Amino acid sequence: MAAKPADKTTGAAKTASSSTARPRSRTAAAKTATVETVAAAPSTPPAASGSYLEWGPVFGGAAIALALSMLLTQFGAGVGLSAAEEATLEGGGISWNVLVAGLWVILVALVSASAGGYVAGRMRTRFHDATEDESEFRDGTHGIVVWAVSSIVAMLALSVMTALASAGAAAEAEASATETTAEALRHAATVGVVFNFASAAGAALSAAAAWFAATTGGSHRDEGTVIHGVVPAYLRERFKRS
């Protein structure tokens, strides 16, 4: 009869130990569920901290556009695509030299703006908080800003060069004291009309080219298009051989 209290004591101890083990098992299960939930949670896509306009790609694209513009302009001057020669024919019409030089101005603007816009559109960060149309608009906006920045810098540089050239020409004219002939005035007017028209047309066309090039660069960024998909196969073979 003396063994019964011991049995009761042992049973109470077992009950206490089992009640203590249950919270531990529940805590372990809760920790496991929390770890599984964290592991299964998808990664949060990047979001813009401030403005959607990124100046890094814009300045990079503008630098490329300006460099290409300077390079192609020097190339054109080297092969004779300038208005330094006779601007009018004997019958009073505009010479082919001036027309080709004007077309070259438009081509330089198109190529440089397209290259800069493509780089800006492809290097821009894609934020997944917008639709496809909104993302395309943001890519195109970066291309337009590249065109605007490069145009402003080019106009400032051209203004400085023109001012320096005008000062030198004025000093030379005073030294020589020669009169300006009617033919020289007609030559200057013809060149001015052609190049003003070419500059305006090139500016408008290059703005559109920068927009579409930036949207193309953004599309290639989203699709993961490699550079081999842009460079023609003939040029790729030449690069491999070299």
Asked whether 154 and 69 are in contact (CB, 8 A), the reply is yes
Question: Residue 37 corresponds to which tokens in the numbers above?
Answer: 């939930």
Crossing angle of helices 182-223 and 96-123, in 10° steps, is 30
The tens-digit pLDDT sequence of the chain (242 residues) is: 444 454 544 554 445 445 544 444 555 444 444 444 434 444 555 555 668 899 999 999 999 999 999 999 889 888 877 655 555 544 555 667 778 888 899 999 999 999 999 999 999 998 888 888 999 999 999 999 999 999 999 999 888 887 877 765 555 555 554 555 766 666 677 777 778 888 899 999 999 999 999 999 999 998 888 776 666 666 666 666 65
What are the tens digits of pLDDT across the range 52-93? Answer: 899 999 999 999 999 999 999 889 888 877 655 555 544 555
Question: Residue 147 corresponds to which tokens in the numbers above?
Answer: 């065109």
Rounded distance, CA 87 to CA 12, Å?
Answer: 114
Asked whether 199 and 100 are in contact (CB, 8 A), the reply is no
- Spatial CA neighbour of 198 closest among 114, 112, 101: 101
Does the global pTM surpass 0.75?
A: no
Asked whether 235 and 142 are in contact (CB, 8 A), the reply is no
Give the amino acid at 190: T
Count of residues making up the chain: 242
